[in-house]
Amino acid sequence: MIEDSTLDYTIIRPGWFSYENEINYEVTYKGEAFKNPEARISRKSIADLVQRCIFENFRIRQVESNKLESNKLLDCFRINL
């Protein structure tokens, strides 16, 4: 429904959360498998991604699944959630 709308959106689907004090995530796209489905993502990483989506219009109109395995931040961005 959202994907078919004219709204600007980013869908974030993080895996399990952690309390780690780190920003470490990567982005996967709808239909891609997580590299490490057992990995946990820090709440700080999720906050970083949300902030980037709000203030940088990062990944607008895309579906993101995040996973936590790489320190790679995308040029535009990346949520290992």
Give the structural domain span for 35: 10-67
In a domain, 17, yes or no: yes
The tokens 């490490």 sit on which residue?
36
Residue 57 within a domain: yes
User: Looking at the domain assignment, is residue 40 inside a domain?
Assistant: yes
In a domain, 78, yes or no: no
DSSP assignment, residue 80? B
From first CA to last CA, the distance across the chain in angstroms is 22
Of 74, 57, 70, the residue nearest 25 (C-alpha): 70
In a domain, 74, yes or no: no
Residue 38 domain-assigned (yes or no): yes
pLDDT of 49-75, one tens digit each? 888 888 876 665 555 554 433 333 333
Cβ count near 10 (within 10 Å): 20
pTM more than 0.75: no
Q: Count structural domains, the chain.
A: 1
Q: Is residue 13 within 8 Å of residue 66, measured between CB atoms?
A: yes
The stretch 43-47 carries a mean pLDDT of: 93
**What are residue 63's DSSP bridge partners?**
11
